[in-house]
Chains A and B, each alone.
Chain A
């Protein structure tokens, strides 16, 4: 018994646990290698006509069109990051550092805002700010007698704005904890010396928050650079291409020619390198964060800034954000779902409201999509929990050097765009293991990509929880004769139950709304509900896409309520 404990905690690591933890790492590695392998091939993959060459690299980096795609991606990602922070950061500050009333409700709005699929927001904003059909543009045209709508959402900046609205909730979550942990003694000292609130924010609060904000910027930037849904819905039809949509078109060419996997591989490899660099920077920023810590500890209680009547103004801004980012898009989607064919909203048009798209809905398709989505929601979070718990336990408890490798490997999926993971899986399933392992076209290929993609978030949350539990408890269990599995079940799981449940529900919800990987991997039998919506939208059936979206929202609503209720009770946040 003693040797087992010694073996586990003093360098030796259980081979069974290590194998389990290594499994997702191996999958990630294989997917990354697949991308580089494809990038040096030309011709029909998996056939003798495929040859190894570096011409894909010269074709990509010598093509001015690709340069414009990279520039668009940068503009889009910077805009998205700025908008997300411009909204999320002040709200986080209001919640954590002021006397703003109704904070629980505000938490609900912001955290649950993250769960509303970007595809909804994008569809809604097409109907709001499209230059010709956007409601806002039409009003402006009528009001000022203009020839054309002055706002164009189908530009890199416009799309970045919509993406920023979608990511503002994430910016809030990432920065609110930073404000919460920040000791206010320096601010109080500044106030004692006669500084006004504005000056304190500028000279004290923001410099103190700099590492936290920078970490949030990098995190959001990494997500933005590979986002697919919003650029696809707003950009593809308007000839505004980003890296993710460029890859999509190379894998699913519209017109003459075969899929250009080699080109995709090069762009993917480029994205991996960029994302890897951002991850390294992110890690560095997090490590430097401690230099800005101002001792926190027992008796810590931040002094809150009294808002007074400014609360009304603050709440107006917050509700304005909720209105434009979620509510209005959702209302417009409901409008589109009820129209027999789409025309811009007006009272006259509303007289044509009908349930045609609901009566004529292809229920077989919707139920197939729902069934696959339910399978993913049931399986992925459990698998993520099992793997993430194993990895986290090894990272936190093991003294073996392997734990550093596991830590790096577990965070790697955060940096890897899901598009890359999906294409890697697609190519492997088609051309490498296809004849022996029937993964292509099955829901399991999507499940594998989702599990890998969600691992970083889960291990991050579980690492934090496990660190808070002293190992003496486990040692006592071992001494009492419990096996490793029973120790985990009887001792650790009850103690970290809130985190486990939080990870489970968040993973389930994120899996439910996920589109990117599904679009690349769904074929027929394995189509998911978001992929059904995308297929309808992409083939111009705006009304049908909206009708399915409404149904999906109805299914999502109870899940969101459970998440909110549980989050409120356990005070568990994403961080």
Chain B
């Protein structure tokens, strides 16, 4: 029995050591093969949910000749999931998800809590995306990678919102016509970024949110496009991105997405490996795949998004239109958010306003 225990201990040390040395893709693949399973958890409405995960893992296995078994569990929203990972890490428990996929705010929370595993992405990602100003999709410290871009706007049911009724400016969603028929998100998506000094500023946005709170019928999470197609809410102000509309429209669902004339926020989607991941190599390989041409194509097909900094990106086309109309475009990254010390407090303030009628 003692021998078995010693062997098991040696094996786990070996696995950790192999991960630490996984500077090349070949080593990463070998490490992933030994792990055998990749657990993924995020909202069913994000990244194609269970089908998306299944497809991506299957394509990844094909590309790298691995046989990793994907296990998906529908999870809470991106920030809530990061909180769970932080909590599990603090309690010495394995992470609910081996690979974390989420937004900039959640990633900032994770970085502040130091729960993300630094990884040598720069060494094994072959086709690196372009940078934009100070923004580099691959974090210098290797803790996270931006793998997709979502463009914030207003989502609407095309059976009820047509022609000139489609909002063009932020204030248009306050039209009395929509009172008691539209929704916002419980986490103030889009609005929280509008409140930064780089956009409209806190005062203006808090006043707008108070009016919006009286205007909305309820709250829904981003990606719950069925609640728009069903007519439960006829508009969502504002979205985390128009990507779910891109997917829903392919099925003929009556839904559209509009970017406001004032401009937009690019909700970057980040991937990272929690320190307490049970399969860090498989997670690394998954991220590597997402950053490949095949991965980007699959992301577009499953979740209607890709990274606008890759050549041939579909999202870039939409963004070019916004830029051509002189709209302001802001990239939401953990670094950008960290530059506003009141950001979390403002987000909480906006959330509280939206939660109360």
**Residues of A with Cβ closer than 8 Å to B?**
44, 46-47, 65, 130-133, 148, 154, 236-239, 252-259, 340-344, 360, 362, 364-365, 368, 430-431, 434-435, 440-441, 523-524, 527, 532, 535-536, 538-544
Count of A-B contacts judged by CB separation below 8 Å: 160
**Nearest 9 CB-CB pairs, A to B?**
A540-B224, A255-B187, A535-B74, A362-B50, A539-B44, A254-B186, A256-B347, A430-B91, A238-B218
**A523 contacts B220, C-beta separation under 8 Å:** no
B13 within 8 A of A: no
B284 within 8 A of A: no
> Please, which residue of chain B has its CB at the minimum distance from the CB of A535?
B74
Residues of A within 8 A of B99 (CB): none
Query: What distance in Å separates the Cβ of B109 from its nearest Cβ neighbour in chain A?
Result: 8
Residues of A within 8 A of B54 (CB): 362
Pick from B43, B77, B230: contact of A343, CB below 8 A: B230
Name the residue among A47, A132, A434, A540 with the largest chain B CB count within 10 angstroms.
A540
Residues of A within 8 A of B248 (CB): 341
**A524 contacts B92, C-beta separation under 8 Å:** no
**B96 contacts A523, C-beta separation under 8 Å:** yes
Q: What are 13 A-B residue pairs whose CB atoms fall within 8 Å in the complex?
A: A133-B232, A238-B218, A255-B348, A256-B348, A362-B50, A365-B72, A365-B74, A434-B92, A440-B91, A524-B97, A535-B44, A539-B43, A542-B227
Which of B145-153, B193-201, B303-311, B349-357 is near enough to bind chain A?
B349-357
Pick from B50, B181, B219, B357: contact of A365, CB below 8 A: B50
Tell me, in angstroms, the Cα distance from A154 to B51 when the chains sit together.
Answer: 31
B330 within 8 A of A: no
> Please, which residue of chain A has its CB at the minimum distance from the CB of B352?
A65
Which of B24-32, B79-87, B134-142, B264-272 is near enough to bind chain A?
B79-87
**Residues of B with Cβ closer than 8 Å to A?**
39, 41, 43-45, 49-51, 54, 70-77, 79-80, 83-84, 86-88, 90-94, 96-97, 105, 180-181, 183, 186-188, 217-221, 223-227, 229-234, 248, 251, 253-254, 344, 347-348, 351, 355-357
**A239 contacts B355, C-beta separation under 8 Å:** yes
> Contacts A365-B73, A434-B93, A542-B227 given; 5 further ones with Cβ under 8 A?
A132-B234, A255-B79, A365-B72, A540-B44, A541-B44
**B39 contacts A254, C-beta separation under 8 Å:** no
**B77 contacts A542, C-beta separation under 8 Å:** no
Query: What distance in Å separates the Cβ of B37 from its nearest Cβ neighbour in chain A?
Result: 11
> Please, which residue of chain A has its CB at the minimum distance from the CB of B224?
A540
**B221 contacts A238, C-beta separation under 8 Å:** no
Query: What distance in Å separates the Cβ of A127 from its nearest Cβ neighbour in chain B?
Result: 9
Residues of A within 8 A of B351 (CB): 254-256
Residues of B within 8 A of A237 (CB): 183, 218-220, 227, 232
Query: What distance in Å separates the Cβ of A151 from its nearest Cβ neighbour in chain B?
Result: 14
**A254 contacts B93, C-beta separation under 8 Å:** no
Residues of A within 8 A of B94 (CB): 441
> Please, which residue of chain A has its CB at the minimum distance from the CB of B254?
A343
Residues of B within 8 A of A440 (CB): 88, 91, 93
Tell me, in angstroms, the Cα distance from A434 to B253 when the chains sit together.
Answer: 46
Residues of A within 8 A of B355 (CB): 239
Query: What distance in Å separates the Cβ of B277 from its nearest Cβ neighbour in chain A?
Result: 12
Residues of B within 8 A of A362 (CB): 50-51, 54, 72
Residues of A within 8 A of B76 (CB): 252, 254
From known contacts A237-B218, A239-B356, infer whether A133 and B93 are also in contact, taking CB-CB under 8 Å.
no
